[in-house]
Amino acid sequence: MSRLSWAPPSTLPPLYAGWMASALGGPIAAETDATCEDCAMCAGPQNRPQAGLFFSPETKCCTYMPALPNFLVGRILRDGDPVFAAGRATVEARLAARLEVSPLGLEPTAVRALLYGHSVEGTFGQSRVLRCPHYLDEQGGRCGIWRHRNGVCATWFCKHVRGAVGLRFWRGLEQLLTAVEWQLVRWSVLELGVEADTLHELFRRAASRSKSGGALDVHQIDGEVDEAAYRRRWGSWAGQERKFFEECARLVDGLAWPDVLRIGGAEVALLERLARDAYRHLTSDVIPERLQVGKLEAITPGPSHARIVTYRGLDPIDLPKIVFDVLYYFDGGPTVETLSRIRRATGVILESALVRRLVDFEILVPTP
């Protein structure tokens, strides 16, 4: 099997890629600094994360158990590609276990959610106990459900080509896709005629989980199925779970982005507008008219470069010392004049692409 046989055809999963191309009006550049197939956060000769912040090669960033909306579960089950068989088997195993399986989709088990919510920062990218059940050890570690992953997994990157600008864009897209998922989950259960009693049980349970503060009952602690509660959650669809999920996928597969907007209502429309604005910034190379030095959280000086952490500890930037030494010229004055002063005083010429990169990483920020 080819090492890259699992690689996605685009930045987003195929279903979401089509929708976002319509929503944003253009392509999304790949985050080439976040290399899943050769993890940029695992120790190596080319990888030097800030202050020893490495991920384990046995987990990478996959120490998170995703919630899979019903239609994505169905897409996974319907994907007959032989290359996808191992990943599909991980979802089938969750279905067979019947833990946190409902017409809404597959949720993290209560114990896993509790551990994740109460783990300290250093466990992310490290804990084998928290490793995603869809992580496959083969080919150096890969995501078994990559082309049908959810909005959270599809939009999380350790590093961004455009620095803070990229982070803001992807966070906005995560909010949009998560809202879309929730709206389509509710729409599909209505379309498939789930009974009112079952709907009451599903949404009462979802509300009670959010208010419980993580308190677990004996079934959740022991990892066992509460049979009576399970039957209440499924109603007349009990015993036909796979068919239900595949029907959800069939319904959603037929939706174009305008259909999704109609179903999602004001919430999705608002988040789409914000995502379009973030996309406009992501695709712009305009340099602010006035700039000043931003908040530099950590600086590690070297003989020729200074390693700087600004917007995110996982994504430091190495700045040539000759550039670092002229940053103090940016005092809030007009950018064009500042660049001229630097050239006259030091002979250093800062090209537009470099200045834009300094802005992207918030080394330089617009003057208020």
Could you list the mean pLDDT of each consecutive 10-residue stretch along the chain, which spans 368 residues?
38 93 93 86 62 80 94 97 95 95 93 81 85 89 94 95 97 98 97 95 76 73 87 95 98 97 98 98 97 90 90 92 96 98 97 98 96
Token reading at 178:
């998560």
Instruction: Map out the domains of the chain as residue ranges.
Output: 14-282, 290-366
pLDDT at 146: 93
Strand order across the beta sheet in which 317-320 lies: 298-301, 305-309, 317-320
Q: Which residues pair with 290 in a beta bridge?
A: 334
CB atoms within 10 A of CB 96: 10
Give CA angle at 228 (188, 191), nearest 5°.
10
pLDDT at 37: 78
- Tell me the three state secondary structure of residue 34: coil
Cα–Cα distance for residue pair 86/306, rounded to 1 Å: 44
pLDDT at 85: 95
Cα–Cα distance for residue pair 71/140, rounded to 1 Å: 29
Transcribe 237-304 into DSSP letters: GTT-HHHHHHHHHHHHHT--HHHHHHHHHHHHHHHHHHHHHHHHHHT--PPPSEEEE----EEEE-SS
> In 340-349, which positions are buried (b, 16+ CB within 10 angstroms) versus exposed (e)?
eebeeeeeee
Query: Phi/psi of residue 11, each to 5°?
Result: -60, -40
Residue whose C-alpha is closest to residue 181's, from 201, 214, 210, 153: 153
pLDDT at 118: 80
Q: Which CATH number fits domain 290-366: 2.50.20, 1.20.120, 3.90.930, 3.30.420?
A: 3.90.930
